[in-house]
Amino acid sequence: MSSLVLGASRLGSGDLDAAVATADAMLLSGHLIDTSRNYADGASERALGMALAALPSPQRADAASRVITKVDADPDTGALDAARVFRSVEESLAALGVERVPLLHLHDPYTVTADEALSRGGAVDALLRLRDEGVAAAIGIAAGPLPLVGRYVDSGAFDAVLSHNRFTLIDSGAADLFDDARSRGMTVFNAAPFGGDLLARGPRPGARYAYRPIDEALAAWTSALFRVCEAHDVPAASVALRFSTRSPLVDHTVVGVSGAARLVELQALDRQHIPEALWAELDELGPAPSPFDGRRDA
């Protein structure tokens, strides 16, 4: 299976028929698909469920085995306790039309402390129960800030870890976390290898990295990166993607898919040949200015 994972965070945010068509293309691609209970207010899972239901039985079983999802805090109250975990999973299974999932992440647990989530009878206990009962074959922690994610990794409760925007050509702050997770036998998912879209579209007015505006130093460094890639006639996006997919620290790289055309584009970027000379020239650029102003937990 390709290490490329198709992110469905935007699936269902527009026209439903178009979303189902995109979901169908994603399901038939052979890639893992990453969704969540709260993506597009639940429409992401609904679109995938509708596309799954339309597939013939053998194809449906195979496609369903590649859909992973996440439990989220209650969108109205922020609750993320055991009861919310069970309710979130019930909603996900109903929307997807499946009885179990291969991987279930605890997603962005920002409304509770790690101590609360890891306490007896808390959210993590609920996830462990779901794994024991076979509702989820494996459980993971998915969030951005490294100290927070590391706290959950240190618990030893999880089979997988996902962090976003922290392991890219610009910032490799998650390297130690990923190395630790792999030493524990965990599966590592690296999301957002483009840092949003800075490494796909380049510096421009309003450009952002990891949801925050970039400064002049980072814009200059990124411009130099794009010049190196252009000199070798290689898309910078391919280089950014390959940085993640070729890393021994990363098992799967999650990239968002907004439509069927985007899926085709990603597959082409994934296949792009990148000469070793290009990597050597990028090394000569030196490290990028920190996009987090030195705050790795931002």
Digit-coded pLDDT (tens) for 88-135: 999 999 999 999 999 999 999 999 999 999 999 999 999 999 999 999
**236 close to 196: Cβ distance less than 8 angstroms:** no
* Amino acid found at 232: H
Can you spell out the DSSP letters for 269-281? HHH----HHHHHH
pLDDT of residue 221: 97
Query: Average of pLDDT values for 155-173?
Result: 96
Q: Judging by DSSP bridges, how do beta strands 252-256 and 4-7 pair with one another? A: parallel
- Tokens coding 1: 């299976």
- 254 pLDDT band (50/70/90 cuts)? very high
Residue 6's alpha-carbon distances to 28, 37, 65, 134, 147, in angstroms, are 12, 16, 14, 24, 26
Q: How far apart are CA 22 and CA 75, in angstroms?
A: 25
Q: Which amino acid is at 288?
A: A
CA distance 60 to 232: 42
**Contact, 31 vs 264, CB < 8 A?**
no
- What's the rounded Cα separation, in Å, for the pair 198 and 215? 12
Asked if 86 contacts 135 with a C-beta cutoff of 8 angstroms, the reply is no
d(CA 144, CA 165): 7
Q: Check residue 293 and give its pLDDT.
A: 64
Query: Rounded CA gap, 212 and 216, in Å?
Result: 13
Q: What is the mean pLDDT of residues 175-198?
A: 96
Helix, strand, coil % in the chain, rounded to nearest 5: 45, 15, 40
Instruction: Examine the pLDDT at 292 and tell me if it is beyond 90.
Output: no
Taking CA 170 as the corner, what is the angle to CA 164 and CA 174, rounded to the nearest 5 degrees?
A: 45
Contacts of 256 (CB under 8 A, 6+ apart): 7, 8, 9, 10, 192, 262
Model pLDDT, residue 297: 54
Instruction: State if pTM tops 0.75.
Output: yes
Decide if pLDDT at 39 tops 90.
Answer: yes
- How many residues make up the chain in this entry? 298
